[in-house]
Amino acid sequence: MKPPKRLQSLVDEGLIDEVVRQLMSGKEAAVYVVRSGGRTLCAKVYKEATERSFRQAVDYTENRRVRNSRQARAMAKGTRYGRQATEAAWQSAEVDALHRLAAAGVRVPRPHNFCDGVLLMDLVTDQHGNAAPRLNDVVFAPEDARRHHATLLGEVVRMLCAGVVHGDLSEFNILLGADGPVIIDLPQAVDAAGNNHAPRMLLRDVANLRAFFGRFAPDLLDTEYGLEIWDLYRRGELRPGVPLTGRFERASGAVDLEGVLREIEDAREEEAERRLRLQAAG
């Protein structure tokens, strides 16, 4: 196909040999299948902030690093330069997170290059070599639901051990690859230690996994993995592969239970609103 305008510069520079086809177009980005150096890759073209439904909320950008104080002041004031810097930081956050998580062994697409607002990364495929489906497009047997749920909990733990919380994890941004689920879409990823909203986001991510897989394996609906994982992290006892029980004993006075429940309820409301946006976009 004829290269879209945003990909033409990468073709001119030899980073892309051929644009095969468009894979999807969402409110955040358009994704293309491309050929590069004999490899089939995925090119994610970020849309401008004015075209996106996902806003760069302060919850996500809290304590994100910028290059210098001038840039930070401009971003805070919302000047033209500041808006450009904010947009660049938003895009590079996914690139940084992918490099960080891939190095930690997390199941994410391996990034190859980032140029002119386009991220080149591995194309996740199914057992037939086709582009892998999202979890929300797949129906699972109970035993498969439990297996994939356990795998993804392990990935959430590995991410948190690497200091990252996805922040928007759900069945809509997990692909079912040939060898299991792969986590995608990380521009809103937050630093677990540097963002005060990280506990709420971690709880929401895990609650989303529980709700989705619980449709196929209802026994998962009674688990408390999010609270257990965060408690282990808070106490410095979280490690990749740590055994999880799905149970959490709330010590009297040690946990703000009402606050946690409010956060979970807020997360459910946010997820319901997000689903409505996705349905409207579809």
Number of domains composing the chain: 1
Mean pLDDT score, 106-127 = 94
The CATH number for 274's domain is: 1.10.510
Beta strands (DSSP E) in 92-234 are 111-115, 118-122, 164-165, 174-177, 180-183, 190-191
Find all residues with CB under 8 Å of 260, minimum gap 6, and list them: 203, 227
CA atoms of 55 and 144, how far apart (whole Å): 34
75: pLDDT strictly greater than 50? no
Domain extent at residue 81? 5-281
pLDDT at 52: 46
Please tell me whether residue 234 adopts helix, strand or coil conformation: helix
Mean pLDDT score, 198-218 = 96
Q: How confident is the model at residue 276 (pLDDT cuts 50, 70, 90)?
A: low
| Paired tokens of 45 | 């073209």
CA atoms of 267 and 208, how far apart (whole Å): 9
Cβ-contact 81, 73 below 8 angstroms: no
For the chain, the average pLDDT equals: 84
Pick the closest to residue 124 from 185, 206, 45 (CA basis): 185
Q: How confident is the model at residue 92 (pLDDT cuts 50, 70, 90)?
A: confident
Helix and strand counts by DSSP (H, E) for the chain: 8, 9
User: Percent of the chain at pLDDT above 90?
Assistant: 63
Find all residues with CB under 8 Å of 249, minimum gap 6, and list them: none
78: pLDDT strictly greater than 60? no
Q: pLDDT tens digits for 21-49?
A: 999 988 788 999 999 999 999 999 988 76
pLDDT at 55: 45
Beta strands (DSSP E) in the chain are 18-25, 29-36, 39-46, 111-115, 118-122, 164-165, 174-177, 180-183, 190-191
Cβ-contact 151, 197 below 8 angstroms: no
Task: Give the Å distances, CA to CA, from 3 to 10, 38, 44.
Answer: 10, 17, 13
Mean pLDDT score, 113-140 = 95
Mean pLDDT score, 243-254 = 78
Mean pLDDT score, 94-122 = 94
Mean pLDDT score, 65-94 = 57
pLDDT at 74: 43
Q: How confident is the model at residue 54 (pLDDT cuts 50, 70, 90)?
A: very low
Task: Give the Å distances, CA to CA, from 264 to 92, 248, 257.
Answer: 29, 15, 11
Mean pLDDT score, 70-78 = 49
pLDDT at 117: 87
Cβ-contact 128, 169 below 8 angstroms: no
17: pLDDT strictly greater than 90? yes
| Paired tokens of 13 | 């520079």
Q: How confident is the model at residue 249 (pLDDT cuts 50, 70, 90)?
A: confident
CA atoms of 143 and 140, how far apart (whole Å): 8
DSSP structure class, residue 67: S
pLDDT at 28: 81
